[in-house]
């Protein structure tokens, strides 16, 4: 249903009033009222779209929650792997340092 903007009512002449300016203001006011009425009429169909968007948002937020839980589990696993690698490197470097200190002495004892 198309709404037509109502025609502006006639303006009575007044002393010291610019009739052209007053007519423009009234025309603008009528146009604003027409557009507001048009928006109110179209608003009746909005809840269906808003409901659909809300459903999509809830679905996406559920997926993001699941993704966040999976990411937290992955972070824990990667952190554990990092700790194990750190310990292995510390042990390997300690053994290498000990081997460098003790190795020449053992080789001199074995091969005089």
Contact in structure between 46 and 70 (CB atoms under 8 Å): no
35-66 residues labelled b (16+ CB within 10 A) or e (exposed)? eeeeeeeeeeeeeeeeeeeeeeeeeeeeeeee
More confident residue, 86 or 20: 86
Largest Cα separation within the chain, whole Å, is 128
Helices within the chain (DSSP H only): 19-42, 46-110
More confident residue, 40 or 110: 110
Considering the chain, what percentage of its residues have pLDDT values greater than 90? 45
What are the pLDDT digits (tens) for 26-81?
899 999 998 888 877 776 666 666 778 888 999 999 999 999 999 999 999 999 99
Inter-residue long-range contacts of 71-79, CB under 8 Å, 24+ positions, other chains counted: none
∠ CA(92), CA(96), CA(102), 5° rounding?
A: 140
pLDDT bin (cut points 50, 70, 90) of residue 13 is low
């Amino acid at each position: 249903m198309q709404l037509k903007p109502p025609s502006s009512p006639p303006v009575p002449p007044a002393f010291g009033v610019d009739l052209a300016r007053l007519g423009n203001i009234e025309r603008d006011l009528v146009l604003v009222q027409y557009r507001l009425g048009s928006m109110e009429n179209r608003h009746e169909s909005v809840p269906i779209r808003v409901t659909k968007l809300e459903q999509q948002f809830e679905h996406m937020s559920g997926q993001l929650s699941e993704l966040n839980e999976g990411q937290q589990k992955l972070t824990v696993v990667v952190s554990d792997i990092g700790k194990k690698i750190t310990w292995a490197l510390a042990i390997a470097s300690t053994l290498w340092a000990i081997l460098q200190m003790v190795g020449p002495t053992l080789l001199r004892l074995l091969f005089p």
